[in-house]
Chains A and B, each alone.
Chain A
């Protein structure tokens, strides 16, 4: 083939690629809602598991933006998303006061647990509360990874320090500034303790070979981790999704999610 001919073929191919990508970009979807969500419930795969049934039935599409609870609230306040899923009630009450939401729906919960290095598990056997566990870690200057971001998990950790009347000012206290998954990896590498939610931990457990649950207690209020859904009053159609989160169909999906990924009850439907 002559060089000029080859050039022409390839140039038209290049032009074709350009036209194809630009027309792909101008293609728009049906009704799309943007929901900012806290990382934990999204990264576990939970939302992608329970929403398609709703999307299909109502011919809508959810775009989830997975960020920390603090950031989720910020972008919701800016009006850049239509709804939020977070696990920090104080943020929601704030939004309600500012009339940015009418109310919120508690739909699923799991528990915060304390995980730590396997070889130190026995040391916490006698511990009676999570505050006591924190105090023990601090006293022995064990390594402890704190997310130190504006996340709900971090806010809960600070609450536990406050309840224990202690300050996290010891040498072993590591501020990661990372999301839950990355912080768990960090704790695993450093042999450190960390406060986490059950779902994220059990989902990643096979990769966290040096960590194990060292303290858990579903009866402690401070360790209850409830997820809420709220939406902008301007997007009243999202009330349908709020009621779906209370439906039998949703409950069944939660059960199958637990069975499929954890083989035990991790996410519990809130009544």
Chain B
């Protein structure tokens, strides 16, 4: 017994050292230069939200397919960790571009952009006016206005699709936000204005969960809205929004997705998702990487992406979007045109 144990230990030790001698790099890595190397710092909801962060990742994956790039990702848990994550990439000097996804990274990036003037950064959803940072902003209020308009029209109509239906007697819709911040409040402002544009008497229930990663609370919040008569709930809450879909399913009501076409990314809930307010974060990330490869990266600018260039668009649900009456879709389309033409003024804040 004792002899066996010794022999085992000796063998294990030898195997361990042999393995240790092997390279500590990643499997199959190394060899072959890449055109660009990208560091991604995601917002606090993290990957797997099938929404904002995953859209940003789509941009990198697309660039990875079309060009010869390499990328590394960091998923901070809280606002305090952004500074370290950005710095980890910037300090190594190995990255051609560091993408900061989400408005909450603004404060940290202000400091880091100054400390690492040779590092190129982009930030999505905020503006940092430094020569090495390119900012991407989306016209969320306009997009939210359109889905608000859609909800306001539908809540007064007798409408059934999938297992869900509206209650035409009451005109109530809901909005669930993640963290209470000016950006998410601008979603709410646009949504409320859109509902009012469709029906001035309709009631909008609004609530903030306080977290982008709390599906259970999202579900509770949405459920209480549905129970108070809401037919449709729009969310701007990342992973928390999945809870809204769950509630819609169990209450046989409808929901509207955000950032990505969620009837695709959240296929399980496609039968309750009427539409999604798609925000082309992937396009922003992709074009930034492309500009780095082309050597045409320009810092110091803020790029505004809105309805006219399809940076923001309303995408109807894969499975039940077809059942929305055409006259309602036409009305939404015409108000889209009116916003672009400046005939409708969308409020930017509450």
A and B interact physically:
no
A residues whose Cβ falls under 8 Å from a Cβ of B? none
